[in-house]
Chain A
Amino acid sequence: MAEHAGVYLRLAAASVRATARRPAYLVVRFLSAGMIVGIEVAGVVLMLDRFGSIGGWRPAEVVVLFGLAFTAQGLALVFGDTLEADKVSELVRRGTFDQVLTRPTSPLGWVVASYVDTRFVGRMLAGAVTVAWAADRAGVAWTPGRAGLAALAVACAATIIFGVLLAAAGFTFVTVQGSEAVNVLIYGGQYLASYPMQIYGSALRFVFVWVIPIGLAIYVPALGVLGRQGPAGLPGWLAWLSAPVAGAFAALGGLAWRAGIRHYVGTGS
């Protein structure tokens, strides 16, 4: 993979150049992706300000979670949007994937690099601005450690979302017909991780901390950023566990992707 990095960068650059041929449309998509974050955050701020707090967290602290979750999701979708079920089944139906298999590259590298979606950079940036703004309102004193934790949260959550997308894409090779059910994890997971985990029932919390650990990846590092104590069972040092957990999760997604390709090569479209 490493020796190919240059090739994949070139493919990604080509896909960006291709979309940039319609700059106005690109700008609009970019803005719209960012606006969705702004609007969602604005609504939540209006609501939380009326209540004053949720699960003992102040509105600004919750909004830090929103920002981290949006940033991570945007980052994952820049590379992973093309792995969504309907897009993969489109690649298969049109025979594009057959051609990808005749290239001297990894199919995953090819697909991801060739369909980079810059519009989600808008979501990522809006998420990052949200984090900065809300952290300021929450009175966070930034230290290198805290910034590192925020970056860790984004990287790990994005890796987990990407792993979900990979697994879903692998599954799509088997079913061919895409199912949007996975969007629950991509969009629903982001929404769920935007609130402090203690507000959820134990079943929901268990699933999103330990099974699809997006809650773990956002929430636990955020505790450190905000200088808060976590509830029992979620000590602060868990933040450092989220990196290997996210890596393992993405690796599982990768295995599912490979299994999907093996199935595809075994049966054809």
Chain B
Amino acid sequence: MNPHPVIEVEGLRKRFRTRRGPVEAVAGIDFRVQPGEFVGYAGPNGAGKSTTVKMMSGILLPSAGRVEVCGMVPYRERKRLARRMGVVFGQRTQLWWDLPLEESFELVGHLYRIPPAERAARLARLEEVLALGPLLAVPVRSLSLGQRMRAELAAAVLPAPEVLFLDEPTIGLDVEAKAAVRDFLRELNRDQGTTVILTTHDLDDITRLCSRLMIIDHGRLIYDGTVEALRTAYGTTRVLVVDLAEDEPVQVQGAVLARAEGRRRWLEFARDEVSAAELIARLLAGHEVADLTLEEPDIEDIVRRIYRGEAPP
């Protein structure tokens, strides 16, 4: 296996001069991404997400610090890196707007010097996975947003990039189209080992896809770890949902009744005061229970609290 990280970022900074004085969009961040990781990159608007991605893809020069992607300095080896990197900006197209979709794939094949046989083979697989067959003869401008996003992804991965940067790939898509995009990305990461950096507002994307989450705010990384660890660190309360055998009042030491509906009760408890096992034992001691589930804290809720500046307990 490749012992080197795919992405190495060290002390990375980007300052912009604006009319209202200098602004530090990225204020010194460090991280490494190993081959095959699926990283979610989140943060409120203007936090420095897209500035970071632009520096990693060679569109923007860092003010200070070091960035290396696939062992290359992006802005210095822009063209060479471009061959090993895929980019999808959700709101913009990299396809040929007025031409039938298949011509875009053909052009991408030539641009990235993919041997024709290889291109045909990869395209055949992508067509199947992304259900592109019926769209090939359609001009890109006539595709629906969901169809177009599938096509964008196919074009971006056709050169078999080692790293894929995605910026809001599910924005504006309906549930079905979102699911198709997510399934594809999950398989791509699992089967091809493609490293994916996913910038998104949609935390659902992150919880469903990413093994790792980075949160940036005011130009600094304020979280870098697994989604689970975030829940543990920030999600202080968990909820035990209980379906009682009979409709009766419930009182358990260490938990607060948050909601009641028919025979269902929502019991909130702090994870560091009482363990779920202990709580369930106490509950079963006094009540007959038909069913119970443990609800982890809502990640979206947690991230919102982080943005608001609420520190972990």
* A residues in contact (CB < 8 Å) with B: 6-7, 10-11, 14, 17-19, 21, 94-96, 98-99, 101-106, 265-268
Contact of B99 among A14, A95, A105, A265 (CB under 8 A): A14
> Is B184 positioned at the interface, with any CB of A under 8 Å from its CB?
no
Complex Cα–Cα for A233 and B80 (A): 50
Give the 5 A-B residue pairs with the shortest CB-CB distance, closest first: A18-B98, A104-B82, A102-B87, A104-B83, A101-B59
A18-B99, A104-B82 known; A99-B16 Cβ under 8 A: no
> Is B231 positioned at the interface, with any CB of A under 8 Å from its CB?
no
- Contact assessment for A96 and B82 in the assembled complex, using a CB-CB cutoff below 8 Å: no
> Is B96 positioned at the interface, with any CB of A under 8 Å from its CB?
yes
* B residues in contact (CB < 8 Å) with A: 16-17, 51, 54, 57-61, 75, 78-80, 82-83, 85, 87, 89, 91-92, 94, 96-99, 103, 107, 110-112, 139
Give the residues in chain A near B61, CB-CB below 8 Å.
Answer: 265-266
- Contact assessment for A10 and B57 in the assembled complex, using a CB-CB cutoff below 8 Å: no
Contact of A99 among B51, B87, B107 (CB under 8 A): B87
Give the residues in chain A near B59, CB-CB below 8 Å.
Answer: 98, 101-102, 265, 268
- Contact assessment for B78 and A101 in the assembled complex, using a CB-CB cutoff below 8 Å: yes
A21-B98, A95-B92, A99-B94 known; A6-B57 Cβ under 8 A: no
Query: How far is the CB of B258 from the nearest CB of chain A, in Å?
Result: 45
8 new A-B contacts, CB < 8 A, other than A14-B96, A105-B79, are A17-B99, A21-B98, A94-B92, A95-B91, A98-B54, A98-B89, A101-B78, A268-B16
- Contact assessment for A103 and B110 in the assembled complex, using a CB-CB cutoff below 8 Å: no
- Contact assessment for B51 and A103 in the assembled complex, using a CB-CB cutoff below 8 Å: no
A18-B99, A95-B92, A265-B75 known; A105-B51 Cβ under 8 A: no
Give the residues in chain B near A104, CB-CB below 8 Å.
Answer: 79-80, 82-83, 111-112
User: What residue in chain B is nearest A266 (Cβ atoms)?
Assistant: B61
Contact of A101 among B16, B17, B51, B58 (CB under 8 A): B58
Complex Cα–Cα for A98 and B17 (A): 19
Query: How far is the CB of B97 from the nearest CB of chain A, in Å?
Result: 7
Give the residues in chain A near B60, CB-CB below 8 Å.
Answer: 265-266, 268
Give the residues in chain B near A94, CB-CB below 8 Å.
Answer: 92
Query: How far is the CB of A140 from the nearest CB of chain B, in Å?
Result: 43
Complex Cα–Cα for A265 and B75 (A): 8
Query: How far is the CB of A266 from the nearest CB of chain B, in Å?
Result: 5
Give the residues in chain A near B54, CB-CB below 8 Å.
Answer: 98, 268
User: What residue in chain A is nearest B96 (Cβ atoms)?
Assistant: A14
Query: How far is the CB of B40 from the nearest CB of chain A, in Å?
Result: 21
- Contact assessment for B107 and A14 in the assembled complex, using a CB-CB cutoff below 8 Å: yes
| Residue of A96, A98, A99, A104 contacting most chain B CB atoms (<10 Å) | A104
Query: How far is the CB of A220 from the nearest CB of chain B, in Å?
Result: 39
User: What residue in chain A is nearest B97 (Cβ atoms)?
Assistant: A18
Query: How far is the CB of A14 from the nearest CB of chain B, in Å?
Result: 6
Complex Cα–Cα for A268 and B75 (A): 13
- Contact assessment for A14 and B79 in the assembled complex, using a CB-CB cutoff below 8 Å: no
Give the residues in chain A near B107, CB-CB below 8 Å.
Answer: 10-11, 14
Give the residues in chain B near A17, CB-CB below 8 Å.
Answer: 98-99, 103
User: What residue in chain A is nearest B91 (Cβ atoms)?
Assistant: A95
A10-B110, A14-B107, A105-B111 known; A99-B79 Cβ under 8 A: no
Give the residues in chain B near A14, CB-CB below 8 Å.
Answer: 96, 99, 103, 107
| Residue of A6, A19, A266 contacting most chain B CB atoms (<10 Å) | A266
Complex Cα–Cα for A106 and B78 (A): 10
Complex Cα–Cα for A106 and B79 (A): 8
Complex Cα–Cα for A42 and B46 (A): 58
| Residue of A7, A19, A265 contacting most chain B CB atoms (<10 Å) | A265
Give the residues in chain B near A11, CB-CB below 8 Å.
Answer: 107
Complex Cα–Cα for A102 and B75 (A): 10
Query: How far is the CB of A269 from the nearest CB of chain B, in Å?
Result: 9
Instruction: Give me 18 A-to-B residue pairs in the complex whose CB atoms sit less than 8 angstroms apart, sorted by A's number.
Output: A10-B107, A10-B110, A14-B107, A17-B98, A18-B96, A19-B98, A21-B98, A21-B139, A98-B89, A102-B58, A102-B59, A104-B82, A104-B83, A104-B111, A105-B79, A265-B58, A265-B60, A267-B17
Give the residues in chain A near B91, CB-CB below 8 Å.
Answer: 95
User: What residue in chain A is nearest B92 (Cβ atoms)?
Assistant: A95
- Contact assessment for B57 and A102 in the assembled complex, using a CB-CB cutoff below 8 Å: yes
